[in-house]
Amino acid sequence: MLEKILALDTQLFIYLNGLGSEAYDGLWLIITKQVNWIPFFLLLFYFIYKKLGIKQTGYLLLFIAFLLLATDQITNLFKYTVQRLRPCNNPEINTIIRVVQVRTSFSFFSGHAANTMAVSTFLYLIFKKQFKYFGLLFLWPLIFAYSRIYLGLHYPLDILAGYLCGLITGYLMYKTYQWAIKNGKI
């Protein structure tokens, strides 16, 4: 059963990765670099600051930092336990796929997908009632994660597992944040 799922995952990866074109490689390399998202983060920070003020925004940023640390460690635990080769390093397919970028670490699961989904979930649960279109925040993990498939770095299952991890950790951090507010800890 697991072999069949992994085979379907590989086939879907080959299809999605094959949709790419050299003309768009530069764009997806820009999208996948976290530093290029700084203007988006600053805009998000500005909206949060306007809604919460400096002190509460500081607390929120501490929760986000801890969330990213926790999600990243969970991701690394899975990567080094499962040890699935990235598509770009898989000798069975790396000659038939578009390899735009190479990484030597393991593939399962995507830290990019987990981290972006964790932060998006956490922030969405906090601000969904304050900002009318805040659900659009989830475009960030979708675009960011697809870049990993496009570049040849992750299988779709890596992305989905990363999303699941991010949803769970983001939700748990939201509950912790709500508890801290309710009990006067922040």
Report d(CA 155, CA 164) in Å as an integer. 15
User: What pLDDT sits at residue 80?
Assistant: 95
Cβ distance 106 to 158 under 8 Å? Answer: no
Enumerate the domain spans of the chain: 2-182
Residue 72 reports pLDDT greater than 90: yes
pLDDT digit string, tens, across residues 100-157: 999 999 999 999 999 999 999 999 999 999 888 999 999 999 999 999 999 999 999 9
Amino acid at 33: K
User: What pLDDT sits at residue 132?
Assistant: 86
User: What pLDDT sits at residue 34?
Assistant: 87
Report d(CA 169, CA 118) in Å as an integer. 6
- Rounded to the nearest 5°, which phi and psi values hold at 98? -85, 110
Among 6-10, 60-64, 128-132, the range scoring the smallest mean pLDDT is 128-132
Q: What is the mean pLDDT of residues 56-60?
A: 96
Residue 17 reports pLDDT greater than 90: yes
